[in-house]
Homo-oligomer: A and B are copies of this chain.
Amino acid sequence: MTDQLFPTRIKNAMNNVNEPSGEPRWLSDAEREAWKALSLMQLQLTARLGQALSGSGLSYQDYTVLAGLTDDPDGRMRVVEFSRQLGWEKSRVSHHVSRMIERGLVTRASCPTDKRGAFVVITDEGRRAIEAAAPGHVATVRKFFIDLLEESQVEAIQEIADTVLANLKANCDDR
């Protein structure tokens, strides 16, 4: 019916690299709507999580970084590892960490085994900040996401994401 995002109405395919011959396989309504709904959900959800955190003085991104650090016994993590785990560009990690350093939430430390490397280390202040924010944050995630879903749906998400991520990793370079 509607053809937003992947318009079925557009029929004059030009410069079509991936489907060099003939008509491309357009998405069905169901496929298109599912992708749209998922994108919208993710946007609204992260916006909501961020706004619920606002009282704590942490952004959702700050929280994510600090949570990553508390996962390590020594409260530290390599920049490159953040980049991978969060799906952030390395420069994004670097810039964001710089900002967090200015606020006293984390520190940088050099890596003894790889002299190029740098650790991000959580400070006491950073630890206090996430400890204060965590219960409220988890409650928000529950209220707006987890508690709305059946266990099977959580499993479905995991399976889907794993499949997609594995495929992305397998095709890192090619277009």
Oligomeric state, in copies: 2
A158-B16 in contact given A3-B71, A131-B10 (Cβ < 8 Å): no
A161-B6 in contact given A16-B135, A139-B18 (Cβ < 8 Å): no
A138–B26 touching, CB < 8 Å: yes
CA distance in complex: A68, B64 (Å) = 32
Q: Closest approach, in angstroms, between the C-beta of A23 and any C-beta of chain B?
A: 8
Pick from B37, B71, B155, B164: contact of A41, CB below 8 A. Answer: B164
Top 3 A-B residue pairs of the complex, sorted by shortest distance between their CB atoms = A18-B139, A37-B161, A43-B87
B27–A136 touching, CB < 8 Å: no
Residue of chain B at shortest CB distance from A152: B156
| In the assembled complex, A42 has its CB within 8 A of some CB on chain B | yes
- Chain A residues within CB distance 8 Å of chain B: 2-7, 9-10, 12-19, 24-27, 30-31, 33-35, 37-48, 52, 55-56, 64, 67-68, 70-71, 85-88, 130-146, 148-149, 153-165, 167-168, 171, 175
A37–B165 touching, CB < 8 Å: yes
A139–B19 touching, CB < 8 Å: yes
Residue of chain B at shortest CB distance from A56: B15
Contacting residues, chain B, for A30 (C-beta < 8 A): 154-155, 158
B141–A13 touching, CB < 8 Å: no
Residue of chain B at shortest CB distance from A142: B25
A153-B156 in contact given A31-B146, A70-B9, A136-B16 (Cβ < 8 Å): yes
Contacting residues, chain B, for A9 (C-beta < 8 A): 70-71
Q: Closest approach, in angstroms, between the C-beta of A142 and any C-beta of chain B?
A: 7
